[in-house]
Every structure is written in structure tokens, then in C-alpha cells.
Amino acid sequence: MTTAHDYAHQNQERFQQQLIDLCRIPSVSTDPERKGETLQAAEWVAADMRKIGLNNVQIMPTPLHPVVYGEWLGAGPNAKTVLVYGHYDVQPAVTSDGWDQDPFEPTVKDGVLYCRGSSDDKGQMFAQLKAFEALLANGKPTVNVKFLIEGEEEIGSPNLGKFVAAHRELLMADVCVISDGSVIALDRPSIGYSTRGLMYLEMEVFGAKQDLHSGAFGGIVHNPAQALAEIIAQLHNPDGSVAVPGFYDHVVALSAAEREELAKSAWTDAEWKEATGVPAFWGEKEYLLHERIGARPTLEINGFVSGFYGAGSKTVLPGKALAKISCRLVANQNADQIFGLVRDHILRLAPPTVRVEVRQLASAGPALMDLNSPYMAAASRAYEKGWGQKPVYERGGGTLPILADFQRELNQIPIMLMGFGLQTDGAHGPNEHFVLEMFKRGIDTAICFFDEVGQIK
Amino acid sequence: MTTAHDYAHQNQERFQQQLIDLCRIPSVSTDPERKGETLQAAEWVAADMRKIGLNNVQIMPTPLHPVVYGEWLGAGPNAKTVLVYGHYDVQPAVTSDGWDQDPFEPTVKDGVLYCRGSSDDKGQMFAQLKAFEALLANGKPTVNVKFLIEGEEEIGSPNLGKFVAAHRELLMADVCVISDGSVIALDRPSIGYSTRGLMYLEMEVFGAKQDLHSGAFGGIVHNPAQALAEIIAQLHNPDGSVAVPGFYDHVVALSAAEREELAKSAWTDAEWKEATGVPAFWGEKEYLLHERIGARPTLEINGFVSGFYGAGSKTVLPGKALAKISCRLVANQNADQIFGLVRDHILRLAPPTVRVEVRQLASAGPALMDLNSPYMAAASRAYEKGWGQKPVYERGGGTLPILADFQRELNQIPIMLMGFGLQTDGAHGPNEHFVLEMFKRGIDTAICFFDEVGQIK
């Protein structure tokens, strides 16, 4: 351990008190009535950045909540630069959601800090900032750093892509680190190295010009709910794979080494069964359950509606039917291209007895990091030294649109997902909390990561 | 024309005034606040039955609205007996539904009576009563008659089946006539000789124990919306027929003579296209459009719902999906047996990856009258003489549960559907009306029918 670690340990209580002060600010980005508090949190973060010695600290406006930026480039132009991403905004929370306390009155109990935002993402983001404070307070860091702390993550980062594109020079770095997630367990650290992309569409099937009496017209009209079901039933093959031609064309295959690595952190079938409660699993049999989620693209029906679905019976022949359909994508699939393939396939399947419309609603790219990059090795060593345990690598099934934004705009920058939270922290739910031991280990790990990156030639 | 017809013509204006008085009573059977008015209508009908000379007139209680009964058995035990069914209750109506007037303030304009219930069924039922008044006032009728006028038709006749079963002796007759429908046009009378039965079920498909995150679990769980669609897609064959084994086993085939008869009243394809607006028709190609509706059973998706279907996108993996499914049945299919066949087929199709429940919600039998019976001939001659035109025969696509009730309890009694209204009368909609010329022709036709039945040996 370094003097920076000593500093962090000696100042741990002050860091916790600061985190408590930050958590107390109800920076709920989705709530127009909290616009003032959201700005207050941005100002609080900017003030701390200045206090610890970052330069060029700015509160940079976007159409809604500003981005807080601060940098330290004192390691010089030949040193590596780390871009740290985090967010100061939080999910909504009211006591009646099931909280045991005022969600914005931080409470520490048995080494756990309870407050909305404590884990997602104030605690994790702040660990990065405190790590760099410790480095700055103990000599000259060997890396440059740029902090980008946004205020719209919980509403889908609607302005971040444009912000990054407009500030490419300012933000350019060698590696990006994001602490806004979770490790498997306190004693089982893990690094995420991929996220899935997303393509979301809605399909609408039109039959008769209005709802009809099923007795007066049933038998001559192609029921649009039936036609929609018939189309949906043709979107998968019997083996669970997606039946859209070309769907898998650009999918990066799992290597044997990766499969071996992923197996280390995989849930057992019993754990998956417990989590889902399904009578039997489904999907591509040649892939293990965690591989289907992390490394394979999917096509899901997110919902549908047609005609009558209330209590009792109504003999209507519906005039239309609607389905929401989305694909989770993996590297190197392109969301817009996949939309085109799915749309064309649906329109090919559409019978002449109905009219079908397909509309794209959202798209986000997948991300896949190179497990063999020196930054990945640096992140692994950082957990090993700072956290105290060698991490395993994980593929996430969810989507982080900002990853694709960063990679597209910043020369395919490698992004390290170094979570310091736990899946059980209650992010987005009641009684969100952050284990203070993880706050401490997070700071230690972040210090190590900055050090490790500084040694990369 | 007989003296009874002369009497009816001479009293036409009084009959109209009586009908206006009856229509003014808002006997909305579904509205608990109209229970008093609904009873008032029953009492009005009973009073008129007594006045015209029916015997044994009773207001017979049911769990909700009473049945009005009256009879005249003076033709003696060797004469035929006609059971007349009608109803004195009406659909709800408020001006704001789109009425041009107070729906319960009868208005006559250009020979048309506007009021809720004027066509459905007060005007048509009352034509039958006035016809028998005319016969009674002009000598001794040659038939016995029993009037059963109920007050719960607009809420699905929940108590009629039990009522008929409990009064089989009282109601036993040789033929039943129902004037509660429509002819094709004023100058194109028609007789319905079949109705379709109904089997209604709901199917629920359960996947995970709750809604899941489509990123965290998509790929290993059989999406219940998809599984439901896959089941629905297997309920029909590519030729439009129902794929449930045994579904058609008991279907009475259309004879060549019937097909020829039905063709006389059939809409053109252009008329069906205009009514539905579909890009192309669908269904069993070996049957003409009106045959598919009137003479073939169907299986329809009345609606479904699962997951998210609002504006925008939500990446949910739904925990369950629900569909409402119904079959229109033809003679001699049995609704409960068909439920068993469809349920068993669905459960056979259900994959082991989900749990499927199938629940029966309703059932009603089909009805098919013998076109060669003497009563059918009597009905035809009645229109020819009384209405002034030879009628065509029609198969209806809808369901009249009471027909199956009557037939089951009353020795398979033949039932004549002799409508005096028009499809354009606005029954159940705003501005319901009844063409007074049809009221007059209905009375003339009903007089003829009683006479004709009286001559059957």
C-alpha cells in the first residue's frame, strides 16, 4: 500500500461525512421540481473538485441538467489519461415506496449508509474522486485524469451523446473508467467487459377498419390479433435462435478462453431457477445460461395488446393489434441495421389479409472490451491489490447507451466497468444503501487503477 | 286480407299511440336505478294482455326482472299452440351518446318512431300482441297462443334458461316465434333459420414469477407473450380452418339446396368489403363469405394483453400473457364439448417452458331450424301474404342463447325468427328508431302466421 492509501484510510471518516452531505441533496433528475437541488448537487461536486486540486472545473450546460467537468493533466502529455465517468443525479424516492426512513436523510447503521443515491451513483463516483484526492495529496500522480460527472443518467442520458460529440478534444483519453455497477459479492470482485445494445420497435397490425361483431363477421376477416401472433411465432426458430435472416451475421463469437473465464462467475442453474421461477429454461441450447444472456443477441416481446382483455367476455373481433418488440444486441451488431432486418422480415411475413406497420422506437449500440488490453490487466491488478481479491470478468446482459456514445466519439476508447456496489444495494428501489467497507475498498482499488495505468507505456 | 287485418288497419293509430306509451317507460334492465321503471313496463304489458283478452296473465318473478306471461288456449287441445317470445327491457341510452333527442321521449318524424327500444324489442314484440288482439276481436282464433315477454334480454337473459326449465308444462308449444331482429330491407323480408352458438374461454400463459429485466434475463426464459403467440398461431390451419382435432366432427353440412337459398340474400363481395375495410378476405376458401359466417364454426382471438403496450419503450420481459378466445359454433356442435377439445389442444401445444391455464367463461348452443318443416312454410307464406313479398332464408352469424334454452327444455321446438326491424334501426346505438310501416306490416304478417299455423294438421 502507498502513502495515498494511508491518506485515504486516515481520511476515511471525513470522506464518509462528505458522501453523506452529497447524498442529502435530492438531485432527482426526472422531477422538474427538483431542478434546483439537481443543480445544487452539480455545484457541490464542482466545489469538491476545485478543493482537491482539479483544474479547469466547469459546470457545463446541456438542454436540461449540466455536466460537471474537472481535470488534472499534470502528468504531462506523454502520460496516459483516464476519463472517469459518473453521475450525480438519482432515481426518485418517497418514503411511501417502502422506505424505512426518509430516503434523503442519510443514516448509517452497522457500517451501511442508507440513502437514495448512496450506491447509484454518488458513493461509487465519489470513491473515484476521493482516490484521486489521495493521489494528489501524496505527490505527483503518474496519470492525467478527466472527470465527467453528468446529471441525466437516470433519465437515459438524453443529451450526453451530443455533449461528448461537441467536446471530443476536451474529453479525449486513453481509457475510460465507470464505477456505476456492482461486483458479484464483497469478497468476489468482478469487472464487466461487455454490455448488450438495444433495438426497440413496435409493430401494429390492422384488420377491419374498426372493431367488428365476431358473430356478424367472424370467419371472413383475418383477425389482426391472430395475424400478429402468427408473425410473432415466426420470429424464432424451434431451437430458440432468432429467425430473422442476417440477424447473426456480425455477432462476435465467444472464444474458448472467454467461456472459461465467464464460467468462473456464472450462477448455477439452481440460482437462475430461483431468480426466475420458470418451470424450465428456454433458449439456445448450445450456449450456457449466462452465455445466452451476456454473449448472445435476443428478440423479446415486451408486450402486446388487442381488443378486449378485461374481466368476463366480449365477443369483439378487434380492428387492430399492437406489439412492442426489442432486441438485445452484442458486438458487432448495429442497432439500426438490425431494425431494418427485423422490419423487412416482419413485412415479408405479413399476409395480404392485413396491413402491418413497423416503427423504430430506440437504438443503442453494444460494447465489448478486449480482455487482453493492458487497461483490462491494470483493472484486474487494481482489484487484486486494492480490493484484496483477483476479480473475474463478466458480460452484462443490459444496455449502457453511453458506452457506445463514448466509443463512437472517442476513438473506440476502452471502457472499464469497475463497479463498487452490490446487486442487492437496492438501486432504483426502496432502502437503497452502500456498504461503507465497499466505499473504502473502492477508493483503494481506484488509487491502484490510476497507478497501474500510469505504468502502462 | 281478413277482418282481423281490417281491424288492425283501422286501429293502427291507436296501436302506435300505445307503442309510444310503452316506449316512454325507460325499462333499462342493466341499471339498478331503473328497477322501478323496468317493473312498470312489465305491468304495462301485463295490463294490455288482460285488456285484449289473454288469460292467466301473470307477472312471474325471477331473481331480477320478472317475466310477463299471458295465454289464450281457446282453440282447444287439438289445435296448435304458438309460443311468442319477446322482451320489454331496453339498452341504456343517454342523450350525450349522440342522440338528437331525449332517448325516452318518443318522437314521430316522417313515419318513423324515434325512441330507445322502439325497434329492439318493444315495437316488434308489440306487433305480435296487437296481431293476436286483432284475431281475438274478430272471431275465434284457430291457434292457441302463449306469450312469454321477459325483462332481462339486454343483460344476456341470465335467468331465462332456469325459468323455462321450471315452467316446461306452462310453456310447452308446437312452435315458437321471435320477432326481435331484422329483415334485409323493407321490400326484402327474410327469415332467420339458424344462429351460431358460442364458447368463450381465456388462456393465461405464465413464464417467470414476475416481470423481469429483458437485459438481465432475456435469452434464458421463454417469453410468455411469445409462447402465447406461438400457441395462437397453431390454432388455425393455413387454409383458414380451425386446427383443433375433432372441431368439425359434428358440424351439419350445408346442402346444395341451402346454398342456393342462401345465395338469394347474400351480400356481394363489394358490400362485405365496404362493411369491413379489409385489404383481402380470409377464411375457408371452399365456402362463400356469407356461408363462412352463417354455416361454419370459427375460432376468434377477442383480445390479448401482456407486458408493456403504452407509448414509448419499456424493456420488460413480461411474467404472463392473457388471451380471450371464443368459438362461434354451428349445429350440431356442443359448446362444452368444444371447450374441452380446444382446452386439450392448447394444453398439448403448451411447451414445458411455461405454465398455461385455460378457463371457460361462457357457452351457448347453436340452433338450426328445418327449412322443410310446415312451420317454416307457414312463416314464409305469412310474409308473402302479410308483408307483401316472399321472404328469403338467412343464417345468422350471431348467438341467441335463448334459442338453445327453448329447444333443450321444450322438446326441440321449432323457432321462427321473424324480424320486423332493419339492421339500420340503431338498436343498441343512438337514435334508435322503428319504421311505422314495418310495425303495420309486422302486425299483418303476424296475423297471417297465426292463421297459417292454425291450418297445420
**Is B264 a domain residue?**
no
From B282, B305, B361, residue closest to A222, measured CB to CB: B282
Q: What CATH number should be reported for the domain holding residue B212?
A: 3.30.70.360
Say what the pLDDT of residue A319 is: 96
Beta strands (DSSP E) in A320-431 are 320-329, 355-364, 367-368, 392-395, 415-417, 421-422
User: Per the CB < 8 Å rule, is A298 touching B218?
Assistant: yes
Give yes or no: residues B85 and B177 share one domain.
yes
pTM of structure: 0.89
Residue B2's pLDDT band (boundaries 50, 70, 90)? Answer: confident
pLDDT at B97: 87
Q: Cα(A208)–Cα(A203) distance, rounded to whole angstroms?
A: 17
- Position B179 in a domain: yes
Q: Domain check: are B8 and B126 in the same one?
A: yes
Q: Looking at the structure, do residues A349 and A383 belong to the same domain, yes or no?
A: no
Instruction: Please list every residue in chain B whose beta carbon sits closer than 8 Å to the beta carbon of residue A400.
Output: none
Contact B276 A212 (CB under 8 A): yes
Query: What pLDDT is recorded for position A1?
Result: 65
Residues of A in contact with B275 (CB under 8 A): 217
Torsion angles phi and psi, residue B166, rounded to 5: -80, -15
Which of A217, A276, A307 is the closest to B208 by Cβ? Answer: A276
Residue A360 near residue A201 (C-beta atoms within 8 A): yes
What's the CATH number where B96 sits? 3.40.630.10
In this structure, the answer to whether residues A351 and A225 fall within a common structural domain is yes
Residue B313: band (very low, low, confident or very high) from pLDDT cuts 50, 70, 90: confident
Same domain, A158 and A64: yes
B300 and A223: CB-CB below 8 Å?
Answer: yes
Whether residues B161 and B118 fall in one domain = yes
Domain count for chain A: 3
ipTM: 0.89
| Predicted confidence band of residue B1 (pLDDT cuts 50, 70, 90) | low
Rounded CA separation B189/A201 (Å): 51
Q: Are residues B23 and B169 in the same domain?
A: yes
In a domain, B380, yes or no: yes
Q: What percent of chain B has pLDDT over 70?
A: 100
| Domain encompassing residue B344 | 197-251+297-362
| B349: CB partners within 8 A, 6+ apart | B230, B231, B234
Q: How many CB atoms lie within 10 A of CB B25?
A: 22
Cβ-based contacts of B303 with chain A (< 8 Å): 225, 305-309, 314, 316, 318
Out of A341, A363, A385, a domain closes at A363
Question: Nearest CA to CA, how far is B304 from chain A (Å)?
Answer: 5
Residue spans of beta strands (DSSP E) within B228-314: 298-307
Q: Does residue A284 sit in the same domain as residue A357?
A: no
In a domain, B283, yes or no: no
Instruction: Compare CB distances from A328 to B200, B218, B282 and report the shortest one's residue.
Output: B218
Q: Give the whole-angstrom CA distance, residue A141 versus residue A157.
A: 31
Same domain, A130 and A189: yes
User: By CA distance, what is B328's nearest residue in A?
Assistant: A215
Question: What's the DSSP call for residue B229?
Answer: H
| Angle B147-B150-B152 from CA coordinates, rounded to 5° | 165
Measure A411 CA to nearest chain B CA, in Å.
26
- Among B306, B333, B362, identify where a domain stops: B362
A272–chain B nearest CA distance, Å: 9
Within-domain flag for B383: yes
Report mean pLDDT in 10-residue bins for chain A, 457 residues: 92 98 97 96 98 98 97 97 98 92 97 97 98 97 98 92 97 97 93 95 96 92 98 97 98 95 92 94 96 96 96 92 97 97 98 98 94 97 97 92 92 96 90 97 98 96
Within-domain flag for B260: no
CA distance A295 to chain B (A): 10
Nearest chain A Cα distance for residue B339, angstroms: 15
> Do B179 and B41 fall within a single domain?
yes
Whether B160 and B35 share a structural domain: yes
Q: What is the pLDDT of residue B401?
A: 87
- Residues of A in Cβ contact (< 8 Å) with B278: 207-209, 221-222, 353-354
Yes or no: say if A302 and B214 are a contact pair by the CB < 8 Å rule: yes
Q: Which residues of A touch B313 (CB under 8 A)?
A: 200, 302, 324, 326, 361-362
- Look at residues A316, A333, A363 and tell me which one is the last residue of a structural domain: A363
At B324-377, the pLDDT tens digits run: 999 999 999 999 999 999 999 999 999 999 999 999 999 999 999 999 999 999
For residue B285, is it within any domain?
no
Instruction: Clarify whether residues A57 and A134 are in a common domain.
Output: yes
Neighbours of A254 (CB within 10 A): 18
Partners of B417 in the beta sheet?
A: B178, B192
CB atoms B307 and A306 under 8 Å: no
